[in-house]
Structure 1
Amino acid sequence: MKDQLEARGHSVYIFTTTDPHVPEDAVEPNIFRFGSVAFVSFKDRRIAVRGLFHALQVAKDLKLDIVHTQTEFSIGFIGKFVARNMHIPTVHTYHTMYEDYLHYVLNGHLLRPYHVRQMTRAFVHNDAGVVAPSDRVLEKLASYGVTAPIRVIPTGIELNAYANHSNRDVRAELGLTDVPVLISLSRVAFEKRIDRVIDAMPRILKQVPDAVLLVVGDGPARESLEEQAESLELTDHIRFIGEVDHDEVPLYYRAADIFMSASDSEAQGLTYLEAMAAGTKVLALAGDYTNALLDDPTIGRTFTRTTEMAQLAVEYLTHADEYSDATAREAKLDAISADRFGDRIVKFYEDAQVYYDETLEEKLSSRSFAKTLRLQSVWGKEEE
């Protein structure tokens, strides 16, 4: 988003947390970092512990026009504090379906969906707009009773990054030049349901005996998944690659024939779009979003059961020529391009500013009217 906005002549400043992997003296133009600590249940996530008034001073110096928050936690609250004190609109993107992550907090014994609903409504209260990456998020926010304007704007993909511009061959590096390759690429967490993809492998191997699954990413479920692969005697057919650099992600997508996901916790499913951009077939758990996205078999298909996932994978691997037409994929990619995303975001900012100005005027008017009523009440008591 930053790249797209700057390409249109806008100035973008990122307020974020400190990062143990980024030296304190690193030169990062237009990036401001605030002291933070690791979050209890997500060690790779950070929570800002200071910087509230520093952020406000920086924002005033920069003369910001709008604040776009991307998290409901510390930096998100700092953003809302800045916007409120500068009297500028706030737009928020709701990225995470938190009801799918409650088990991370005291094994799900502390928070309930009701708490998520209440906290979400409170956080976006008085926002000038909320970006929903998919219809699924829009429907969830509506069910929470969110009254701020909501617009579905799928996160864009920098298509050029997924085109084959590199001479690097990941398949050759892994010794997989002549074998079918499947891939799971995500944070290796339990809610991603990677165990179901592994469960499908024995069925796939019965018909495609040389297939290999790459599990790219890292996270709390990795050890459990490695044990699962070992118990199923699949260690020769499943490789745990670990986390890779962001710039290398397209290389791994392109190295695979099929991207496979059994996750039911995706707000948008950015990995589906990335795989599509790389020209890799997608198999994903059926749902309103995935059924609409994968509506052409030349792009991908959805499944409801592990057996169906395995069957579809075998179909793609053994009849690849039947699904080689790129027409439907190109049409989808045009709709999800980063350039289209940039246009939509700018338009939403403009609409949010209008909404903010109108609602602010209404609030000022209602406050003035309420003040008049209070004065009238006081005068009446004095006269009595």
Structure 2
Amino acid sequence: MRIGLFTDTYFPQVSGVATSIRTLKEELEELGHEVYIFTTTDKAVGRYEDPTIIRLPSVPFVSFTDRRVVYRGLMTSYRIAKAYQLDIIHTQTEFGMGNLGKLIGKALRIPVVHTYHTQYEDYVDYIAKGKIIRPGMVKYIVRGYLNNLDGIICPSRIVTNLLEGYEVKPVKRTIPTGIQLDQFVRDDISQEDVDRLRQDLGFQPCDTMLLSLSRISSEKNIQAILASLPEVLSEYPHVKLVVVGDGPYLTTLKQLTTQLGLEASVIFTGMIDHNQVALYYKACDFFISASTSETQGLTYTEALASGKPVIAHGNPYLDDLITDKMFGTLYYDARDLPAAIIDALVSTPEMTQKHLTQKLNAISAQQFGKAVYSFYLDAIIAKAACRQYKYSLTMEGSPADRSLQLVKQTAVLPVTLVKKTATTSAKVFKAPIKVITSIKDFLE
């Protein structure tokens, strides 16, 4: 199968969405499919890049300058998508590249599915300080984008429930994003490596390390963790918080740390190299998050894959993920965060290998890739069946005859798809030649 992923954000931009897209691409390719990413330009990317990544002209997004939005490239995208003979388009962000993907899908008459990653009510303040788009307007905007798609992937029950509340009509399937386990189940990280990092951070052997790892923005609610620390430290003075990441709220958090007198108990590392992320997980005692804006949160599964329990604000996604006390402690009222931290320190049991193995299987990228591919097949079959049905309405004969012909035609679709998938083994590095040839033919 040939798949086009359309997204406004991708590496080197760092985000959960970018990580999810890269994971999906790698897993689908492992299954034998060809995957092409249509995304925005980025000044940090060299001229020569993976030929399966197509970058379109873009500019920084207003009030959110570390993200970009495409401003042209429709015909270029159409020609390339047609040359690659895409079977399906999967949009990952709304509006810019999302609308581009929808237009191209319509032009090529192929299914367009979408993953809804973001609760926009938590982000409207970034656009003219919330004066243009109000939280109450979000559902109408989102519904307008989603209602003419061929299917929607919801990364968690939170998103499924949210879209049901928006009265979004297309078929929805809950498929949590998996993670590459080998990046976090790291036997190559020794105890000496862990001890060295903790020493470099200024930890004593008796200290307990809470790890916050995310983009530093107000909606991540790291300020709530800081506000809870004085109460925790009054009973457990050896607790320290390590805040990893960068973002627009970093200065504010540092000022709050000073105001609360927490300089000796809070460490800001700034951005760290991606290769160091697993080491930080291994070095901590608990991963902590007070965010209420996550639709899933890959950092939770990354922490679990590293064998570390979670302390977090509960939601339907985490209720499904944290199925045992050994995996973490959830709280549901902001006032309960200090008590939740103390409860986790006192009563979290050791993870057993049996339970951890079961959890790893459930959150693996392999399961994620297979589930998404299954959804693609359903969307393609449904699209073809709908087209055949519309065609049957123009055929001669009785309704029974038309129905029988429709059933026969639809029944061979899965076989046709399997055969088509089996023929897509051409090497990806030949792609630019195919594109150039096809564009030349198109123009002539």
Q: Same fold (TM over 0.5)?
A: yes
Task: Quote the residue 2:39 is aligned against.
Answer: 16
Aligned match of 1:145: 167
Matching of residues 230-249 of structure 1 within 5 Å: 230-249=258-277
- Using the TM superposition, give the Cα deviation of residue 283 of structure 1 relative to its aligned residue in structure 2, in angstroms: 0.7
Give 1:26 shift. 2.8
Instruction: Tell me the SS of whatever aligns to 1:27.
Output: coil
After superposition, give the CA deviation of every residue in 1:291-314 in whole Å (9 maximum; x if it has no partner). 232231100011134553323323
* Pairwise CA distance, 1:207: 2.5
8 Å CA contact 1:197–1:306 kept in 2: the answer is: no
Q: Is the 8 A contact 1:199 1:306 kept in 2?
A: no
CA 210–15 in structure 1, closer or farther in 2 if over 3 Å, else same = same
Matching of residues 263-282 of structure 1 within 5 Å: 263-282=291-310
- Evaluate the alpha carbon distance shift between residue 286 and residue 51 of structure 1 in structure 2; reply closer, same or farther with a 3 A threshold: same
C-alpha deviation, 1:359, in angstroms: 2.6
**Alignment partner of 1:308 out of 319, 336, 339:** 336
Q: CA deviation at 1:8?
A: 0.8
Secondary structure at 1:71's aligned position in 2?
coil
Decide which of 84, 89, 92 is 1:62's aligned counterpart: 84
Distance 1:18 1:140, change over 3 A: same
Matches within 5 A, 1:1-384: 1-23=24-46, 25-164=47-186, 165-167=188-190, 168-169=193-194, 170-176=197-203, 178=205, 179-305=207-333, 308-318=336-346, 322-363=349-390
Secondary structure in 2 aligned to 1:38? Answer: strand
CA distance in 2, matches of 1:108, 1:326: 47
Q: Is the 8 Å Cα contact of residues 329 and 344 (structure 2) preserved in structure 1?
A: no
Distance 1:244 1:100, change over 3 A: same
Q: Find the aligned partners of 1:365 and 1:172 in 2 and give their Cα distance.
A: 72
Contact kept, 8 Å, 2:328 with 2:344, in 1: the verdict is no
Cα-to-partner distance string for 1:159-212 (whole Å, 9 max, x where unaligned): 111012235433243232622110111111111111111111112222222221
User: Residue type of the partner of 1:252?
Assistant: Y
Shift in alpha-carbon separation, 1:73–1:285, aligned structure 2, 3 A: same
Contact 1:95 1:132 in 2 (8 A): yes
**CA RMSD across the alignment:** 2.0
Structure 1 residues not aligned, in runs of 5+: 370-384
Q: Partner of 1:283: helix, strand, or coil?
A: strand
Report how far residue 144 of structure 1 moved. 1.2
Residue number in structure 1 paired with 2:20: none
Q: Aligned in 2, Cα 1:12/1:266: closer, same or farther, shift over 3 Å? A: same
**CA offsets, 1:272-298, max 9 Å, x none?**
111111111101112222223223110
* Residues 154 and 268, structure 1, Cα contact 8 Å, conserved in 2: yes
CA distance in 2, matches of 1:367, 1:247: 59
- By how many angstroms is 1:38 displaced? 0.7
TM-score for the superposition, normalised by structure 2? 0.78
- The offset of 1:318, in angstroms, is 4.7
Cα distance between partner residues in 1 of 2:175 and 2:325:
24
- More moved, 288-297 vs 29-38: 288-297
How far apart, in 1, do the equivalents of 2:41 and 2:103 lie?
19
Quote the Cα distance in structure 2 between the aligned partners of 1:45 and 1:368: 50
The secondary structure found in structure 2 opposite 1:298 is helix
Q: Do the aligned partners of residues 33 and 312 (structure 1) sit closer, same or farther apart at CA in structure 2, a change above 3 Å counting?
A: same
The residue type equivalent to 1:350 in the other structure is L
Report the Cα distance in structure 1 between the residues aligned to 2:181 and 2:37, rounded to whole angstroms: 23
Per-residue displacement from partner, 1:37-86 (whole Å, max 9, x unpaired)?
11112111010111111011111111111111100021111111211111
Once the two structures are TM-superposed, the CA of residue 129 in structure 1 deviates from its matched residue by 1.0
Structure 1 residue 226: Cα displacement: 0.7
8 Å contact kept, 1:129–1:352: yes
Counterpart of 1:377 in structure 2 is: none
Q: Matched residue of 1:13: which SS? A: strand
Report the TM-score when normalising by structure 1: 0.90
